Amino acid sequence: MTFRRGRPVLSTFSAGVAATALLLGLATSAAAAPLPDPARAGVTAASKTGTAAKGTSRFAGSVAKAKKPGRDIPPVQYFGTINTFGQNAEHERITRAALACAPGVTPGAEGTCFEPGSIRQLAGAKGTMGAIGAPDVDQVLTEAAHCDGADYLNAAGYPRTRAQATSVLLACIAHLKGEFNRGVERADALVDAAGAVSTAATDLSSDCTFVLGVTGRGKCNAIEGFGRALHGTEDFYSHSNWADRADSRSAIGIANPPGLARTGAAPFLRLAAPAPAAADIPADLSTGCFSLNPWGCGKRITHSVLNKDNGIIDPLTGEATAPTTPRGQIEANFSAAVQAAIADTRAQWAGFRTSLITRYGTTRGQRMACAMTHDNPAVACR
């Protein structure tokens, strides 16, 4: 996940610097911490020790004076897409744990899992960030792409209302639904009207390009829409208090928001379903404010307080260990966020397949899902 933090409006130059830093990190990470072969055992990467300090402000019923915000602002990041800057390719590993075919398993005609070449394009691998990583390059400062800024605390004096927080979250969901639907629309190029898979549109002889509006082969375009949507839904679980718990040793406040301790996927995040209403959002749900401006979040719950972005995830089993962020280190918060993200990712792919059938009919829709998941669909999907 690109579990990330707040952002002001930056210049094009500044945004370019952020993207370049991420790309450089990708290049240097290829040799530093490659993922294991999918047919082999789990990850053996050494865990890292977190260094971020937890905020010290505490209050019960009113907003206490907080430490100056943003002093410990980390590099721009979310659930990680690279293997450097404290990230461990968390997005890639979550997506692989959810959707990669197990050794010896094939996707079948329904496209229930992704073969190695196809999961590489969706989740990324050594040398490519995949579709899942694209928002960390060209939407790094787009709040809705990462479900940031929907912060709320039920305490007197908190600077955001429940309605404001809910509005931001609904905007995030609308943005992700747009990406999801673009993927469904672009899948039309994979299969012709007679039901035959296009060899040219599904060719994977070279990696796809997913960033900066560059269009490509039909399969690349369909995977891009789905991958960009997954990036945000996976981020939600790291950036929010949906699955986590507060620190029981400290008072509830902006430095220790309440946790909802929910399990499984959030029902209002189902991108194939109708848009949720404000009433569908839990009253105490919060994501963190993210701002590169050291004073941009004021006395609000910040991303640095709430995120569970980083740790080690086994891409085969989804086991999550060695969290490095303060919130992730409380009880099993990092693991809870990862397991919820894996469950949600599987549900989103099931919804995507259903959307293909709804839009294109059973025969073409199933063949499109088959084409997206098989590495040689012109042969496998007949």
Question: How far apart (Å, rounded) are the C-alpha atoms in residues 69 and 73?
Answer: 8
Kindly report whether the global pTM for this prediction surpasses the value 0.85.
Answer: no
User: One-letter amino acid identity for 345?
Assistant: T
CB atoms within 10 A of CB 211: 17
Residue owning tokens 């995507």? 352
Chain Cα centroid distance, residue 157: 32
> Which residue type is seen at 21?
A
How far is residue 210's CA from residue 215's CA, in Å, rounded to a whole number?
7
**CA–CA dist 348, 337 (Å, integer):** 16
Residue 162 tokens, joined: 């429940």
Digits of tens for pLDDT over the chain (382 positions)? Answer: 454 433 333 333 334 434 444 444 333 333 333 343 333 333 333 333 333 333 333 223 333 333 333 333 334 445 555 565 456 899 999 999 999 999 999 999 999 999 999 999 999 998 899 999 999 999 999 999 999 999 999 999 999 999 999 999 999 999 999 999 999 999 999 999 999 999 999 999 999 999 888 889 999 999 999 999 999 999 999 999 999 999 999 999 999 999 999 999 999 999 999 999 999 999 999 999 999 998 999 999 999 999 999 999 999 999 999 999 999 999 999 999 999 999 999 999 999 999 999 999 999 999 999 999 999 999 999 9
Q: Is the alpha carbon torsion for 340, 346, 349, 355 positive or negative?
A: negative
